[in-house]
Structure 1
Amino acid sequence: MHFTRTTDGVTIAYQKLGRGPALIWMPSLSNIAAQWRIPALRTAYEVLSRECTLVLYDGRGTGDSSRDIDLADLGVDSHVRDLTAVLEATGLRRATLLGYYHSVATAISFAALEPRRVSRLILYGGAPRMSDAMQPAQTQALLSLVDKDWSLFADAAATAWLGWDGAESGRWTAEAFRTATTPAIAKAWFEAARHIDVTPSLAQVEAPTLVLHRQGDQQIPVSVSRRMAAGIPGARLVELPGKTPTLFVEDPAADLSLVIGFVTAGRVSRTLPSGALTRREQDVLRRLAAGDTNNEIAANLGIAVHTVERHLANIYRKLGVRGRTAAVAHALRGT
């Protein structure tokens, strides 16, 4: 973990991994150190960093960043200062921004303010007017738990809100939430988010933009994503199949292929290169990309562990690779 300071003196924790076109995965309620323990996120970080220079950071008040912050200063300007400090510390002149949940508005604002520093923009799970992303009844019920029962909020957010249904992933995600910040900071953080509205900045975004929306997502209406895409000149909207309100979980290989293709070449495709793999081998590869162990793959697919091992051996042989991460990365590159 590395550290830098913002212009207003807040310490920001960040990581820089890999080589290639720069991708900054912007934070929501972030806790990078704990997020690495979540199998699907760990795999996403590893695969992305094989194709890109991947930058992760904890926003002010969260994770390993400073928690001694001004709770009255958590609007979009403060988050832009965090991002600017990370860009300066990493020496990146330009990068693709992945605005994720709460950071969607920050990504839009920065792209409008600093067009020469943003090569491309990917937006998922948020809105330019953050209150639009916080309106569903389930979201309101969850937010009411923040200062009443922080541990219950963390558990509920991991499962009901973000859709982490795997037992191990759900536990690690809840723990990441629980240790990401304090209830007081989280309450101030969500309250400030209600007042963030960067809608006027949409028309000023010059970077090629990809807006993603999960079709079955019950947390944010698709109309919110459609309006956001319509407001950004030339933006493309992809409505992803499935219902899990999280990237890189329900169909991680396809999600990663889509993101990598856009970051590296501006390409938008949902095709998962599969080479000569059988349907079952493709199923195993997808579970591999989700971070499952051999036992978990066997349980999810209803097959024996030794059958999983045989499929993996065939996958490695057909793709000409030596290990798990290399197999996923090879498939995503389509080479």
Structure 2
Amino acid sequence: MESLRFARADDGVTIGYQMFGQGPVLVWMPSLSNIVAQWRIPALRDAYLGLARSLTVILYDGRGTGSSDRRIDLDDLGVEAHLRDLRAVLDHAGVQRASLLGYYHSVATALAFAARSPARVDRLVLFGGAARMREAMIPAQTQALLSLVDQDWGLFADAAATAWLGWDSAPSGRWTAEAFRTATSAAVARAWFDAAERIDVTEELARVRVPSLIVHRQGEGQIPAEVSRRLAASLPDARLVERPGSTPTLFMEDAEDDLRLVTAFVTGLPQSEPAVSGALTPREREVLALLAAGGSNGEIARDLGIAVHTVERHLGNVYRKIGARGRTDAVVYALRMTENRHGA
């Protein structure tokens, strides 16, 4: 494990961080974190070391969590406080420009920093969050888990590691639960989540001009794919990649592919177009045809006699199989296929 360094935010809060690797700088921004404990999780340790082969990686614990100051103002956990933490770490590390990996809670903070400090941001990689954070917290499973924060902090940690994030294999699940449990107290976690529901940086999205990669891999029980698609559509220079699998995290399911995707994007290396991973089913072809005809998700659902969430699931499969970044790419693909058939 890398040694800890400590930065001090403008309001006096001490922020613990680590810096290691070589190459362009990537700051992996925190949600509820404990970077010391996270090194004991094999998949995360492999991810840190894998990224460090080509990148200089910065990890840090947000205020009130992990190795950072636990004595904080619980009424000051909005985006401004999180921006103070990020600026403190960058300044202390002597980093003028970096790419940011916004992960769950920190997605909105990464977006706000890119909008307000464009000269300090090279690229954004965003996973698991939203500009309006309550959109990422709507699913019933998430709300049920959050209700455990006040009732039983230990049970919340166990449930979050397994049911929520999918770390169900021992010892990874046990170590992930321990990282959650030791990240902070129930009171601070409740304040973090309550503040998150009020974070909304949607009005700043038009000013985010840096290349952005939005990665989505969630089942229907977690963040809906439509949340990531709306975010990608709202950014001037964004690419959406919907990764196969159902585990709502990066670098655990298809870890090597995730590492290649993120590393290539941050380093600016050419990326080959995603290969088609399977033929479209008859229903997926029907959905794609109706999409190309201009149908909304609701209209497609009505025409096919299926639920809207089923349409979203089919579209997610279509995007993944044809390597589309969103609706526009899928429509272009459908039109190209039509032209090819007519020309054959």
TM-score (norm 1): 0.80
The alignment covers a number of residue pairs equal to 272
> What is the CA distance between 1:18 and its match in structure 2?
1.0
Q: Deviations over 1:206-231 (max 9, x none)?
A: 11000010153531011100010011
| SS of the residue 1:85 aligns to | helix
Determine helix, strand or coil for the equivalent of 1:167: coil
- 2:173 matched to which residue of 1? 170
What secondary structure, in the 3-state scheme, does the structure 2 residue paired with 1:147 have?
helix
Q: What is the aligned partner in structure 1 of residue 208 from structure 2?
A: 205
Task: Tell me: CA distance 1:222–1:59, structure 2 relative to 1, closer, same or farther (3 Å).
Answer: same
Q: Does 1:142 align with 2:140?
A: no
Structure 2 counterpart SS, 1:51: coil
| 1:152 equivalenced with 2:155 (yes/no) | yes
Paired with 1:173 and 1:197, the residues of 2 have a C-alpha distance of 29
Structure 1: gaps (5+ residues):
273-335
Indicate the RMSD between aligned Cα atoms, in angstroms. 1.3
The aligned residue for residue 7 of structure 1 is 10
1:282-321 matches, within 5 Å, as none
In structure 2, the partner of 1:313 is none
Which amino acid is 1:256 matched to? L
The corresponding residue for 1:279 is none
Distance in 2 of aligned mates of 1:109 and 1:269: 30
Deviations 1:14-36 (A, max 9, x none): 00001100000000101000000
Give the whole-Å Cα distance in 1 for the aligned partners of 2:235 and 2:187.
35
Secondary structure at the aligned position of 2:219 is classed as coil
Cα distance change of structure 1 residues 156 and 100 upon mapping to structure 2, 3 Å threshold: same
Task: Confirm or deny that 1:196 pairs with 2:199.
Answer: yes
Q: Which residue of 2 aligns with 1:227?
A: 230
Pairing 1:35-74 to 2, within 5 Å after superposition: 35-74=38-77
Alignment of 1:173-188 (within 5 A): 173-188=176-191
Q: After superposition, give the CA deviation of every residue in 1:212-265 in whole Å (9 maximum; x if it has no partner).
A: 101535310111000100110020000100000000001100000000000111
2:331 aligned residue:
none
Alpha-carbon distance between aligned partners in 2 of 1:134 and 1:181, rounded to the nearest angstrom: 20
**Which region of structure 1 is more displaced relative to structure 2, 159-168 or 59-68?**
159-168
Any conservation in 1 of the 2:111–2:201 contact (CA below 8 Å)?
A: yes
Deviation at 1:270, TM superposition (A): 7.6
Listed as ranges, the matches of 1:230-269 within 5 Å are: 230-265=233-268, 267-269=270-272
Q: Please identify, of 210-219 and 45-54, the stretch whose mean Cα deviation from structure 2 is larger.
A: 210-219
Residues 257 and 270 in structure 1, CA contact (< 8 A), matched pair in contact too: no
Distance 1:217 1:263 in 2: 29
C-alpha contact (below 8 Å) 2:140/2:221 kept by paired residues: no
Shift of 1:271: 6.8
Secondary structure, aligned partner of 1:257: helix
Provide the rounded CA distance (Å) in 2 between the counterparts of 1:83 and 1:210: 20
SS class of match (1:123): strand
Q: Which residue of 2 aligns with 1:113?
A: 116
Instruction: Determine the C-alpha separation between the residues in 1 that align with 2:191 and 2:58.
Output: 26
Corresponding residue number in structure 2 for 1:90: 93
Larger Rg: 2
Residues 55 and 144 (structure 1), Cα distance of their counterparts in 2 relative to 1, 3 Å cut? same
Correspondence for 1:312: none
Secondary structure of the equivalent of 1:112? helix
The residue type equivalent to 1:123 in the other structure is L
Query: Which of structure 1's runs of 4+ aligned residues deviate more than 3 A?
Result: 266-272
Report the AA paired with residue 122 of structure 2.
S
Q: Which residue of structure 1 lines up, in the alignment, with residue 337 of structure 2?
A: none
Task: Tell me if structure 2 keeps the 8 A contact 1:254–1:271.
Answer: no
Is the contact made by 1:161 and 1:219 (CA closer than 8 Å) also made in structure 2? yes
Give the secondary structure class of the aligned counterpart of 1:98.
Answer: strand
Structure 2 counterpart of 1:26, one-letter code:
M
User: Is residue 217–residue 244 contact of structure 1 (8 Å, CA) maintained in 2?
Assistant: no
Identity %: 67
Residue 254 of structure 1 contacts residue 270 of structure 1 at CA under 8 Å; is this kept in 2?
no
2:125 aligned partner: 122
Cα deviations by residue, 1:285-329 (Å, 9 ceiling, x for unpaired) = xxxxxxxxxxxxxxxxxxxxxxxxxxxxxxxxxxxxxxxxxxxxx
Q: Shift in Å at residue 47 of structure 1?
A: 1.0
Q: Give the letter aligned to residue 187 of structure 1.
A: R
- Whole-angstrom distance in 2 between the partners of 1:178 and 1:19: 31
